[in-house]
């Protein structure tokens, strides 16, 4: 394949001179029309692997991606490069979707972004066969797998669009997070014509992974932040804690701020920008802080609390060191964390009856009668909902997550939609209207001067900007828009900030709501499995951290030499190779039986001093225990409820 046209596009639009590792291979695979699964860590440059070939090829690229904020961001970016792009998600009205799809069929659009729950709507399915598709890109493809940590049932519907489009259109699935089981699942569920995985290594050589056992995490954190330089993130699991810890840091002379999803969008943006710009050194955040972080010089990511899975840990800690300079990923761990995790497990899986209560309350809150509601979109204010129905916040949240995982409803993140205007009369009729209604003439001219494209589509407008440009107040502007709308000259959709709930099925009666015990237990089982792997990561201190993480993603790697395990081992003055050999032999001797130190040294065929070094290290790290008869035994990790 000739890569030149693709390189030209890369340079012409993005100004980059060469492809990153794997980008070229993925592009070549797609250009040959093959279904492709591309695995690259976050920040690796996945977007360009569908954007570049789609620009070179004739036709339009359909991009499926779950987060509306990121979708809007991508569309804005492409449009600013004069690559015509469009987004369809639950935050826009059916009318807008209608117009958008027509524009995609008849216009020269190159990218149509769509959120997965909109795929199965009639409106979309009816138009899909007429789109001249060149590629279907599935971003965050791990969402299709029930084995993954972020399963979304609407992803399961992606494959069904194959029936509506030409067979030759390839699918490109992309993710930064896939275990071997998830990789298989992605290809099966997207009905790949042939298995085809392209991956880069997930190894992050410039990150030192450290696990710090600390009873007093606050003291440790303050000490560390005084010692290390640069900017970073501290991840916590609760909103309250994010504030408390930020305050603790500030009172100890460390520049810090907090961030969580409960704060208004503007404030979140402001905090994010201050951190990116370097005015705030440390941001203490819940996992809501993650979307769209593109700061390269992050020196440390410290987890005060453990995430629920290695996928999440890898993703979050991987925000360190994008500039390829030495960085730290630290997990703080105290024995009491386990009881917190047990508690969180209990709350994560409310009893089935409670989940049903929440479902009924939700339907009543939104006035959805039985048998109705399918594909309906509602504004949703969680705080208002729980207070009206006097529901416990976390349990309710988890019940809703469960209902989402089961495919009854979907929730979006809070989205910030600008106001939109579309002229529904043609230019000639508008002119006649202006002549006949002089009082509107000035305002219409202002609109037409300020924005273009309003005759063919909905265009984002800003009432404040219009007010500033004219002698009018914001309120005047708003009234003009409403009036023009009621006169059927324009369609006006006032902007708003809200989260949405989408009914993916009609409302069911309580007893028809199927939450089978089997399914419930299975979901819980998978969750515990992932959680236990995460706990293992923190508990085991005999295996290189980097090797442990990569192993989880099915990748073999060498010892990193810079994690806490490797460092301690370096101090033993044994080669990694020697250490491993001795460790394996000790483990073999102690598997399923006890032995005293003398017997062990005799049985392991290595010099006594070296065996003792390894043995001492294993004892220090709680890998081996001694009973009161001085017998040694290999200690299995004491995890809960396996």
Q: How far is the CB of 139 from Mg ion (least distance, A)?
A: 6
Q: In whole angstroms, what is the distance from residue 312 CA to residue 306 CA?
A: 10
Q: Residue 437's binding partner, choosing from ligand ADP, Mg ion, none, with beta-carbon cut-off 5 to 8 A by kind?
A: none
Asked if 242 contacts 271 with a C-beta cutoff of 8 angstroms, the reply is no
Q: In whole angstroms, what is the distance from residue 228 CA to residue 538 CA?
A: 22
Other Cβ atoms closer than 10 A to 488? 10
* Distances, alpha carbon 307 to alpha carbons 21, 42, 93, 337, 427, in Å: 30, 17, 36, 11, 57
Looking at the Cβ atoms of 23 and 231, the one nearer to ligand ADP is 23
Q: How far is the CB of 135 from Mg ion (least distance, A)?
A: 16
Looking at the Cβ atoms of 48 and 97, the one nearer to ligand ADP is 48
Asked if 507 contacts 373 with a C-beta cutoff of 8 angstroms, the reply is yes
Asked if 135 contacts 53 with a C-beta cutoff of 8 angstroms, the reply is yes
Q: How far is the CB of 294 from ligand ADP (least distance, A)?
A: 6
Q: In whole angstroms, what is the distance from residue 392 CA to residue 10 CA?
A: 51
Looking at the Cβ atoms of 67 and 565, the one nearer to ligand ADP is 67
Q: In whole angstroms, what is the distance from residue 350 CA to residue 342 CA?
A: 13
Q: How far is the CB of 437 from ligand ADP (least distance, A)?
A: 48
Q: How far is the CB of 18 from ligand ADP (least distance, A)?
A: 6
Q: How far is the CB of 51 from ligand ADP (least distance, A)?
A: 8
16 binds ligand ADP (CB under 6 A): yes
Looking at the Cβ atoms of 258 and 313, the one nearer to ligand ADP is 313
State the residues that interact with Mg ion by CB under 5 A: 46
Looking at the Cβ atoms of 87 and 472, the one nearer to Mg ion is 87
* Residue least distant from Mg ion (Cβ): 46
478 binds ligand ADP (CB under 6 A): no
Q: Residue 19's binding partner, choosing from Mg ion, ligand ADP, none, with beta-carbon cut-off 5 to 8 A by kind?
A: ligand ADP
Contact set for ligand ADP, span 293-322 (CB under 6 A)? 294
Looking at the Cβ atoms of 40 and 245, the one nearer to ligand ADP is 40
3-state SS, residue 575: coil
Q: How far is the CB of 590 from ligand ADP (least distance, A)?
A: 44
**Residue 68 half-sphere exposure, CB side, CA atoms within 13 Å?**
19
Q: How far is the CB of 290 from ligand ADP (least distance, A)?
A: 11
Looking at the Cβ atoms of 78 and 377, the one nearer to ligand ADP is 78
Q: Residue 177's binding partner, choosing from ligand ADP, Mg ion, none, with beta-carbon cut-off 5 to 8 A by kind?
A: none
Q: In whole angstroms, what is the distance from residue 119 CA to residue 190 CA?
A: 14
Other Cβ atoms closer than 10 A to 119? 19
Looking at the Cβ atoms of 19 and 192, the one nearer to ligand ADP is 19
Q: In whole angstroms, what is the distance from residue 182 CA to residue 179 CA?
A: 5
Q: How far is the CB of 80 from ligand ADP (least distance, A)?
A: 13
Looking at the Cβ atoms of 66 and 170, the one nearer to Mg ion is 66
172 binds ligand ADP (CB under 6 A): no
Choose the binding region for ligand ADP from 13-21, 265-273, 395-403, 479-487 (rule: CB under 6 A). Answer: 13-21
Q: Residue 44's binding partner, choosing from ligand ADP, Mg ion, none, with beta-carbon cut-off 5 to 8 A by kind?
A: ligand ADP
Binding-site member from 31, 37, 48, 67 for ligand ADP (CB under 6 A)? 48
Backbone φ, ψ for residue 614 (5° rounding): -65, -40
Q: How far is the CB of 544 from Mg ion (least distance, A)?
A: 28
Find the DSSP H helices in 366-417: 382-388, 393-405
Other Cβ atoms closer than 10 A to 16? 14
Report residue 216 CA to chain centroid gap: 30
Q: In whole angstroms, what is the distance from residue 533 CA to residue 352 CA?
A: 26
Looking at the Cβ atoms of 20 and 405, the one nearer to ligand ADP is 20
For ligand ADP (CB under 6 A), the number of binding residues is: 13
* Residue least distant from ligand ADP (Cβ): 45
Q: In whole angstroms, what is the distance from residue 239 CA to residue 261 CA?
A: 8
Q: In whole angstroms, what is the distance from residue 352 CA to residue 516 CA?
A: 9
Asked if 117 contacts 151 with a C-beta cutoff of 8 angstroms, the reply is no
Binding-site member from 5, 13, 20, 457 for ligand ADP (CB under 6 A)? 20
Q: In whole angstroms, what is the distance from residue 637 CA to residue 395 CA?
A: 30
What is the 8-class DSSP label of residue 367?
T
Looking at the Cβ atoms of 46 and 237, the one nearer to Mg ion is 46
Contact set for ligand ADP, span 27-46 (CB under 6 A)? 40, 42-46
Asked if 619 contacts 585 with a C-beta cutoff of 8 angstroms, the reply is no
Looking at the Cβ atoms of 155 and 537, the one nearer to Mg ion is 155
Q: How far is the CB of 298 from ligand ADP (least distance, A)?
A: 14
Looking at the Cβ atoms of 152 and 545, the one nearer to Mg ion is 152
Q: Residue 16's binding partner, choosing from ligand ADP, Mg ion, none, with beta-carbon cut-off 5 to 8 A by kind?
A: ligand ADP
Q: How far is the CB of 137 from ligand ADP (least distance, A)?
A: 11
Q: How far is the CB of 435 from Mg ion (least distance, A)?
A: 51
Going 190 to 48 to 178 to 309, the CA torsion angle's sign is negative
Q: How far is the CB of 181 from ligand ADP (least distance, A)?
A: 22
Which residues pair with residue 87 across a beta bridge? Answer: 113
3 state SS for 136-156: EEECCHHHHCCCCCCCCHHHH
Choose the binding region for ligand ADP from 18-26, 97-105, 378-386, 464-472 (rule: CB under 6 A). Answer: 18-26
Question: b or e along 530-544 (b: 16 or more beta carbons within 10 Å of the residue's beta carbon)?
Answer: bbbbbbebbbbbbbb
Q: Residue 20's binding partner, choosing from Mg ion, ligand ADP, none, with beta-carbon cut-off 5 to 8 A by kind?
A: ligand ADP
Residue 159 CB contacts under 8 Å (≥ 6 apart), including other chains = 189, 190, 191
Binding-site member from 29, 36, 47, 504 for ligand ADP (CB under 6 A)? 47
Backbone φ, ψ for residue 421 (5° rounding): -130, 140
Q: What is the maximal distance between C-alpha atoms in the chain?
A: 105
Q: Residue 40's binding partner, choosing from Mg ion, ligand ADP, none, with beta-carbon cut-off 5 to 8 A by kind?
A: ligand ADP
Q: At what angle do helices 239-251 and 217-227 cross, to 10 degrees?
A: 50
Phi-psi region of 35 (alpha: psi -120 to 50; beta: other; left: phi over 0): beta
Q: In whole angstroms, what is the distance from residue 626 CA to residue 344 CA?
A: 33
Looking at the Cβ atoms of 15 and 605, the one nearer to ligand ADP is 15
Q: How far is the CB of 16 from ligand ADP (least distance, A)?
A: 4
What is the 8-class DSSP label of residue 20?
P
Looking at the Cβ atoms of 46 and 281, the one nearer to Mg ion is 46
Footprint of ligand ADP on this chain (CB under 6 A)? 16, 19-20, 23, 40, 42-48, 294
């Amino acid at each position: 394949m000739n890569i030149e046209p693709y390189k030209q596009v890369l340079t012409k639009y993005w100004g980059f001179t060469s492809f990153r590792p794997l980008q070229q291979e993925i592009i070549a695979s797609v250009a040959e029309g093959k279904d492709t699964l591309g695995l690259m860590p976050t920040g690796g440059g996945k977007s360009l692997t569908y954007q570049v070939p789609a620009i070179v090829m004739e036709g339009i690229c359909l991009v499926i991606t779950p987060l509306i904020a990121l979708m809007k961001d991508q569309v804005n970016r492409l449009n600013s490069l004069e690559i015509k792009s469009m987004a369809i998600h639950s935050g826009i009205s059916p009318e807008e979707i209608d117009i958008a799809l027509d524009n995609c069929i008849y216009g020269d659009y190159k990218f149509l972004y769509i959120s997965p729950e909109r795929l199965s709507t009639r409106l979309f399915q009816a138009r899909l066969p007429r789109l001249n598709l060149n590629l279907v890109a599935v971003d965050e493809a791990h969402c299709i797998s029930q084995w993954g940590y972020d399963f979304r049932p609407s992803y399961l519907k992606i494959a069904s669009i194959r029936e509506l489009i030409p067979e030759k259109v390839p699918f490109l699935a992309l993710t930064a997070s896939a275990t071997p089981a998830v990789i298989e699942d992605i290809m099966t569920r997207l009905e790949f014509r042939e298995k085809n995985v392209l991956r880069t290594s997930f190894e992050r050589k410039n990150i030192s992974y450290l696990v710090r056992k600390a009873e007093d995490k606050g003291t440790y954190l303050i000490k560390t932040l005084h010692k290390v330089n640069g900017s970073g993130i501290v991840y916590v699991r609760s909103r309250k804690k994010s504030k408390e810890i930020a305050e603790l840091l500030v009172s100890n002379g460390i520049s810090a701020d907090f961030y969580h999803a409960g704060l208004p969008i503007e404030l979140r943006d402001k905090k994010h920008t201050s951190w990116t710009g370097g005015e705030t050194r440390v941001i203490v955040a819940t996992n809501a802080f993650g979307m769209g972080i593109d700061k390269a010089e992050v020196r440390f990511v410290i987890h005060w609390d453990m995430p629920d899975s290695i996928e999440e840990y890898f993703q979050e800690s991987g925000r360190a060191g994008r500039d390829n300079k030495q960085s730290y990923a630290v997990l703080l761990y105290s024995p009491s964390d386990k009881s917190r995790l047990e508690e969180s497990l209990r709350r994560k899986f409310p009893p089935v009856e409670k989940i049903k209560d929440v479902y009924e309350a939700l339907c009543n809150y939104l006035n959805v009668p039985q048998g109705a509601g399918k594909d309906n979109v509602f504004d949703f204010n969680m705080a208002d909902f729980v207070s009206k129905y006097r529901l416990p916040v976390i349990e309710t949240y988890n019940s809703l997550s469960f209902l989402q995982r089961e495919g009854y409803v979907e929730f979006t993140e809070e989205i910030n939609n600008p106001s939109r205007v579309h002229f529904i009369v043609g230019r000639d009729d508008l002119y006649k209207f202006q002549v006949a209604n002089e009082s509107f003439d000035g305002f219409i001219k202002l609109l037409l001067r300020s924005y273009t494209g309003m005759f063919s589509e909905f265009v984002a407008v800003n009432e404040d900007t219009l007010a500033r440009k004219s002698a009018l107040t914001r309120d005047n502007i708003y009234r003009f828009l409403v009036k023009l709308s009621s006169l059927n000259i324009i369609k006006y959709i006032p902007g708003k900030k809200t989260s949405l709930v989408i009914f993916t099925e009609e409302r069911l009666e309580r007893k028809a709501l199927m939450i089978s015990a089997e399914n419930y237990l299975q979901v819980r089982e998978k969750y515990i499995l992932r959680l236990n792997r995460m706990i293992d990561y923190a508990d085991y201190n005999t295996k290189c951290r980097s090797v442990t993480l990569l192993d989880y993603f099915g990748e073999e790697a060498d010892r990193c030499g810079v994690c806490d395990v490797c460092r301690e081992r370096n101090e033993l003055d044994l080669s990694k190779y020697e250490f491993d050999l001795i460790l394996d032999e000790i483990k073999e001797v102690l598997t399923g039986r006890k032995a005293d130190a003398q017997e062990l040294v005799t049985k392991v065929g290595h010099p006594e001093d070296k065996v003792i070094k390894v043995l001492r290290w294993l004892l220090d790290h709680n890998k081996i225990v001694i009973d009161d008869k001085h017998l040694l035994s290999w200690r299995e990790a004491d995890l809960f409820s396996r």
